[in-house]
Amino acid sequence: MGFDDVITHLGEFGRYQKRIYFLICLPAISCAFHKLAGVFLLAKPEHRCLLPFENDTKTIEYELPTSLLNTSYPYDNLLGKYSQCEYFWNESTIHCSKWVYDKSKYKNSAVTEWDMVCSRSWLTATSDSLFMLGVLLGSIIFGQMSDKYGRKPIFFASLVIQLIFGILAGIAPEYITYTISRIIIGATTSGVFLVAYVIAMEMVGASHRLFAGVVCMMFFSVGFMLTAGFAYFITDWRQLQIALTLPGALFMCYYWFIPESARWLLSKGHKNKAKKLILKAAKENKVSLSDELLDNLLDDDTNKKEINENKDSVFDLFRYPNLRRKTLLIFFDWFVNSGTYYGLSWNTSNLGGNDLLNFVISGAVEIPAYTFLLFTLNRWGRRSILCGCMIFAGSMLLLTALVPEDQNWLIVLLAMLGKLAITSSYGTVYIFSAEQFPTVIRNVGLGASSMVARIGGILAPYFNLLGEIWKPFPMIIFGGMAFTGGLLSLLLPETLNKPMLETIEECENFGKRKEKLVHEIENAQNAQELSLLNNSKNNVNDNTKANGTLPIHSENNAKY
């Protein structure tokens, strides 16, 4: 008897689960605000050097006559425009110390306020990179804490911290305070989104895990697109940061509506609390559960808890050979998916055309990407979709290097197809990973996977920065990683229609027994073939002796 069996009797996705699930998905929108806000908070508008004679001008316009541009700025043939970092003065080329920014798209941004352009452009990449470092730290800290202290308290602690530092980032007087605040915000997105995702996955039955996982991601995509809506109406970056933070305050009322995970309570031996939650859910779902059924469940899970009492740590991911192999493969998939996903999401302003429109399209393609998963994951399997989508994404991104620069629309199209495919694979890897790890270390496993994913996210801004050297460079890097990750995904065992793993022992044996069985079948087949060959040889020898002739050494006989 296990919790999945009780979910079957309770209702795999009854009224109780639907209500809690909808509420727990909404914070994903808020997390998307914070993760994608950097595109607009750190927007880099067109700029040029402030010319010396303009210091005495009261009103400085970005646009200059072509004749003045020709005599004032070097022309960069590689980038196809006038230099934004140097100007001519007294027959010498001078590096800029001040800049004039084009305000037609953005009233201001952190980049324009602190002049993070030219030789200081690495500061913008570093800010986004450190944000992802915060997400990484949050994956470690909040993942461990939620497995130890429970999903609910860590979820709300993360919300409070996110609100405080979200506002602080909006009033930060300089770059250091802003960046530190963003690091902490990044950490809290793990505490909010990752923990909420685990709560959602742990309270639904096996047949509804796909729907629960994918739709939760769609809420994130909605937040993605809504970020552009905020940026359209709020062009001041400080006001935008605060506006994106305040909706998180609405979720504080969840404290009275969101319960602890019953599955986690059982794994920690809190039988009575788990039983109350199960009975409450049964009442709302209008089903009856016998005490005998619940007692059998609780007794069984208590034994599992005692067996694994001292083993629920991140080190268990590497302690056992089969689990270690699967963990490393999952880690690489997360690294690739995160790096490629955020690299493409943060690079929309460099695709040409309308920045806001590109951003909305980049978010909009995620809806069909996740819808595709709803129709295919339960038919074709997690592993097939993960592999296929990553290989397709890699192929599309690699093809951008072959497109002429004057065919910008085709580059955008291929990039968006790659974004669509990598979104599908990213959604798959969440579900696939949650089903690969057992309950006692599931949040630790997802937290560690998310931690590795953030390394990809940390590197993504610097990969995009390489586009200033050669525009296709970032796409080649992302495409190559995605293609490789897709091939390696074939080494993971399929989890479609499998029960949720509860113990480390079950996880270690999962996929291992199948391989052992295949190996035994192959050995049996080889033994059978060898027996047939030996019988054939004996028959030949017998015939030879009977006829008094030597065997013929033909090509086929040589194989024996």
Note the pLDDT tens digit of each residue in 237-266.
999 999 999 999 999 998 888 888 888 888
More confident residue, 423 or 437: 423
The alpha carbon of residue 35 and the mean position of all alpha carbons in its chain are separated, in whole angstroms, by 11
Cβ contact 317:445 at 8 Å: yes
pLDDT in tens, 10-45: 888 889 889 999 999 999 999 999 999 999 999 988
- According to the model, what pLDDT value does residue 137 have? 87
Task: Supply 170's token pair.
Answer: 């909006």
pLDDT of residue 498: 77
Look at residue 299 in the predicted model and tell me its pLDDT. 62
Contacts (Cβ under 8 Å, ≥6 apart) of 250: none
Question: Given a cut of 60, is residue 278 above it in pLDDT?
Answer: yes
Q: Take residue 240 and report the two structure tokens written for it.
A: 């935008």
Q: Render pLDDT for 321-378 as a digit per residue (tens, 0 to 9).
A: 888 888 899 999 999 999 999 999 988 877 766 788 889 999 999 999 989 988 888 8
pLDDT at 330: 92
SS3 annotation, 71-138: HHCCEECCCCEECCCEEEECCEEEECCCEEECCCCCCCCHHHHCCCCHHHCHHHHHHHHHHHHHHHHH
Is residue 39 a contact partner of residue 348, using CB atoms and an 8 Å limit? yes
> What is the structure's pLDDT at 559?
33
Mean pLDDT of the 394-412 span: 85
Could you give phi then psi for residue 99, rounded to 5 degrees? -135, 155
